[in-house]
Amino acid sequence: ENTTVVIIGAGVSGLTLATFLQKSGMPCILVERRDRAYIEMRQRAGVVDARAVRMFEQWGLADKLLFGPVAQTIDYRLNGCSRVFEVTGEDGSPGRFCTQQMLVTNLMREFIDVMKGDIRFGATDVTILNEDGICPQVNYTDVDGSHVLHCNYIIGCDGDLGVSRASIPHGVLTKYSHEFGYAWLAALVETPLTGHAIMAVSDHGFVAQLPRGPQRSRFYLQCSLGDRPQDWPDERLWDEIRLRLGDLAIENVKVHDKLFVPLRSVIHAPMQYRNLFLSGDAAHLVPPASAKGMNLALYDIDVLSQALLCAIRDNDTSALENYSDTVLPHLWNYQDFSVWMTDTMHDAGDPTQHGTFKQMTARARLDNLFNSPTAASMHSQYQRGTN
């Protein structure tokens, strides 16, 4: 079977690229190991930044894909005292509290049901042939047997543990990484957050509360790397939330899930090899404190979709050849922002973890957001994704 582009992975980046290509009349096939119901159930990120909103607007898709309140404020709470930071600056639409689950579900509907796009669910044993002098090839197996897809380009959107990056010969990529040495417990709970997003620093450690749709929110609590679910029964979870938010009136409600996420930053570079191009988590990870994981995946697709269209439509491959060099400065800039957010939020908190000196300098950094218009403006630009 022949097509122009094969995309591996129908997460947020793969589905976005497939939808853009389909809208441009570019033949493409998406290969995904899971089924549609599973993907539409997956709960992850919750903020689409202003830059990504603008990208969807430019494709005429924002009204079909993005729903949810605007994400314009963050309550940087310190020992229970609220301080609301307002994201300001620039014309154009603000970021949105649109869950990744909703975006992915809407992309799925747009690509499959509306545009009649070609997606192969339940694909196992995906292998990539990407050698000089031969046509790129993706092989996979499903309930109907083995399949071979010949194409011009392969796009790896299959996350950190996918097959795309793993198919690149040893020694081609460099891995740059940083471990923060602690983790987050992410708990999805049956209580909405109708006010500001909360990022709370306290002497007892960090906690965040972010909206996840109209009924739910997700709490993120700093915890130890080795913590397991049995270390965090619901009673302890709610006690810590009350303590860290400085709000004893919070009541225990249903907890849907608890995940442990070790905080780390990673970039694999370059993000391409011959006719294979990596996007999103397949190439980079950021700690969730910055809420940039999904947005950086969307940034890659913004650049990659234009580069693919130039290569296929206009026979001009220069943007594609420069893909990695084009996106990496932006990715490093946002890695730096993620480190800033993560260090600031955690260092400013529990002094037994990082020391009182770090605690005081991190608190000064936070104060600066409210005292210095320059610092506030720069922070707003990072939040919007436009810096």
Binding region for ligand RFL (CB under 6 A): 8-14, 31-34, 39, 44-46, 100, 123, 126, 157-159, 162-163, 259, 261, 280-282, 288, 291-294, 297
Would you say 142 or 367 has its CB closer to ligand RFL? 142
DSSP 6-54: EEE--SHHHHHHHHHHHHTT--EEEE-SS-HHHHHH------B-HHHHH
Question: Is the distance from CB of 225 to CB of 262 less than 8 angstroms?
Answer: yes
Would you say 8 or 26 has its CB closer to ligand RFL? 8
| Angle subtended at Cα 163 by Cα 290 and Cα 169, rounded to the nearest 5 degrees | 105
Could you tell me the smallest distance in angstroms from the CB atom of residue 26 to ligand RFL?
19
Could you tell me the smallest distance in angstroms from the CB atom of residue 364 to ligand RFL?
27
Could you tell me the smallest distance in angstroms from the CB atom of residue 114 to ligand RFL?
20
d(CA 330, CA 335): 9
Could you tell me the smallest distance in angstroms from the CB atom of residue 355 to ligand RFL?
28
d(CA 61, CA 66): 8
Question: Is the distance from CB of 282 to CB of 265 less than 8 angstroms?
Answer: no
Would you say 104 or 366 has its CB closer to ligand RFL? 104
d(CA 230, CA 250): 22
Could you tell me the smallest distance in angstroms from the CB atom of residue 371 to ligand RFL?
28
Would you say 49 or 359 has its CB closer to ligand RFL? 49
Residue ranges of alpha helices (H) inside the chain are 12-23, 36-41, 50-58, 62-65, 100-108, 234-245, 293-313, 318-321, 323-347, 351-354, 356-371, 373-384
Could you tell me the smallest distance in angstroms from the CB atom of residue 140 to ligand RFL?
7
Handedness of CA 250, 253, 258, 264 (dihedral sign): negative
Torsion of Cα atoms, 369 then 372 then 375 then 381, to 10°: 80
- Residue 100 identity (one-letter amino acid): Q
Helix (H/G/I), strand (E/B), else coil: 128: strand
Could you tell me the smallest distance in angstroms from the CB atom of residue 207 to ligand RFL?
14
- Residue 50's Cα: distance from chain center in Å? 14
Could you tell me the smallest distance in angstroms from the CB atom of residue 14 to ligand RFL?
6
Tokens linked to 224: 């130890």
